Structure 1
């Protein structure tokens, strides 16, 4: 039976083809481009063919109700972190904000966090928007490396003083600006917090890098914490996804808020499988990533560039002004190469698709610019010590 002509017209209007015959070529070009991009590891090109093939074998259940691949991933993350349960959500921002909203029940309350943290600076004011929480951003006193109990204790609000919002939650981040938060300090902060009825959440978007560097198991890293957020696209190269882990009651409540915020996803098995592939095959590549970042740092030091924040894991911050160069000069010269390089501002991020050639070519750009400055009579500044990561203006283009 032929359809009514009017319906045929609507069918033809609705049809769409988003797969181009040139996509294979475009994807290959994109992979080459990201292998030479130092803006963020979030730009890595996944799924690869192998990841995609594995993902197509996943279950196709409704994850709001039941999907076996998704539930298997959540169970694995719960076991990996030593928590009772875990929940797959779309993004790290959603995971962090679910944690804040689920932990905090009734205002007034305040949340202590690092002033540079994702929760404070890059989540669109979500703590205030979703939870009505007052954030208390602090800056570390130890050269802007990480918060300590000494930094936090004076700002904790206890008691019944009606003029202040009582501290109900501390949010930490590991890594932050690529710097590893010492586990001993996390233990101290959590012990103090729990003794005073305060909960602790960790934005562990890049906690994989800590485990790969320190060889501390994820369960040990997460043990002192009440909840932890683990991102699969930062560093590991999954196309999307973050897991929030905590107690069963906490995750059940977070699932309720996830639904209320429109985050209840359906056929997530293919996402869970891509994440499983990333965990299985990409995590083991992180030591190579860290070695490349350290190679880049040493090359910059050899040129006389000031390191603002060292490459403890996958990223570093630098200041080229001691050799007379500005960030925009580097960006323009790098972008003009036959094989362009993307390097914006003071932050340089290395990821699993970064090539050694990209590292060497970026250093060559700075070397050429330095030589030109010397020819023009510029006198380099004396060597400067490692310093704090600085203000946003100094850091150029800080990104998530």
Structure 2
């Protein structure tokens, strides 16, 4: 029996900075970030603006703050954002749009987190004093609860064209944008082209300890700075943490392909186990979502036993169903870890099956 976690598939947020990244952080040149005098923060922002093909960028402590600052810039109280029903800002950001800015959310039922231009048309409110104003489209790349699916570039263009032709702004929650870039070979700036604002996360697959970078036009970023200040996101000698983002962008992007390979290996192995339902062909990036209902275990029971008996941690997603489990690969997970996790999973599900028969 063990309560210690030896293989952590809970999320790619559990990554820790590598020794080389830590050394790079220690050597970072710093200054007062609020005054625009931190050269490392400034360099990171310039790198991301160039990567995404935008005029300017802004380093923020978290992806949630990136979303909330962007929403606050694009919308007024009583305005409405259209996003998928499974979207992160709807479920995991503390009700931020409504709490911070009085913004409403109109959820649509996409396919694995991806909705269509026609669904946007149907969700739009007419310009009426009786209804909230549809003001912003927000998409999540990749779609987290959709199993890490990549939004097709053509779908993005169609959705954004409908939005812009109806006077709406467009925003990308790019928490795993670079996973999509690595998986599809489509450059980040091509994904970004149709969006008025977007951000990318430094602390997931890239492996930095903290932060996200929001990008858009110069006027958008000037306004976003107001909300960075308001929300307590302005910092001082932040180059120490910004340096991790620079190192990650220079060294950790291409290696994400290993995470995708490991995720496919995990899904293929799970598909062979009795009572586990997963389609390996649906795994595009580093997220694997599977159902253990037919094992006789609830998701909570499965996740708890995996940790207690084998030190392997998955996340249990009751939002998606009582027996839905998510595993995410990252730079802290090796191919050998996947083999060990599959062996442990097999023991758990076969034991559950025997108990059910007995």
CA positional deviation for 1:376: 5.0
- Indicate how the Cα distance of structure 1 residues 335 and 86 shifts in structure 2: closer, same or farther if over 3 A, else same: same
CA displacement, residues 5-56 of structure 1 (integer Å, 9 cap, x when unaligned): xxxxxxxxxxxxxxxxxxxxxxxxxxx94x601111111122x221111112
Residue in structure 2 matched with residue 334 of structure 1 by the alignment: 306
> Is the CA contact (8 Å cut-off) linking 1:341 and 1:358 kept in structure 2?
no
Given candidates 134, 137, 153, the residue that maps to 1:170 is: 137
> Is the CA contact (8 Å cut-off) linking 1:324 and 1:378 kept in structure 2?
no
Residue in structure 1 matched with residue 320 of structure 2 by the alignment: none
RMSD (CA atoms): 2.0
Residue in structure 1 matched with residue 291 of structure 2 by the alignment: 319
Pair 1:247 & 2:217 matched: yes
Pair 1:207 & 2:186 matched: no
| Count of residue correspondences | 341
Residue in structure 2 matched with residue 15 of structure 1 by the alignment: none
Residue in structure 1 matched with residue 278 of structure 2 by the alignment: 307
Find the residue that maps to 1:313 and give its secondary structure.
coil
- Indicate how the Cα distance of structure 1 residues 375 and 55 shifts in structure 2: closer, same or farther if over 3 A, else same: closer
Pair 1:147 & 2:118 matched: no
CA positional deviation for 1:370: 3.8
Residue in structure 1 matched with residue 342 of structure 2 by the alignment: 363
Greater relative contact order structure (CA < 8 Å, 6+ sep): 2
What are the within-5 Å matches in structure 2 for residues 246-325 of structure 1? 246-304=216-274, 305-307=276-278, 310-325=282-297
CA positional deviation for 1:57: 2.0
Larger Rg: 1
> Is the CA contact (8 Å cut-off) linking 1:87 and 1:245 kept in structure 2?
yes
- Indicate how the Cα distance of structure 1 residues 335 and 220 shifts in structure 2: closer, same or farther if over 3 A, else same: same
> Is the CA contact (8 Å cut-off) linking 1:308 and 1:316 kept in structure 2?
no
Unaligned runs of 5+ in 1: 1-31, 380-400
Unaligned runs of 5+ in 2: 317-324
> Is the CA contact (8 Å cut-off) linking 1:41 and 1:349 kept in structure 2?
yes
What CA distance in whole angstroms lies between the structure 2 residues aligned with 1:350 and 1:135? 30
Residue in structure 2 matched with residue 78 of structure 1 by the alignment: 49
Pair 1:372 & 2:351 matched: yes
What CA distance in whole angstroms lies between the structure 2 residues aligned with 1:332 and 1:208? 31
> Is the CA contact (8 Å cut-off) linking 1:325 and 1:369 kept in structure 2?
no
CA displacement, residues 334-365 of structure 1 (integer Å, 9 cap, x when unaligned): 2244x611123211111111122321222212
> Is the CA contact (8 Å cut-off) linking 1:333 and 1:365 kept in structure 2?
no
- Indicate how the Cα distance of structure 1 residues 168 and 373 shifts in structure 2: closer, same or farther if over 3 A, else same: closer
What CA distance in whole angstroms lies between the structure 2 residues aligned with 1:234 and 1:373? 33
Normalised by the length of structure 2, the TM-score is 0.90
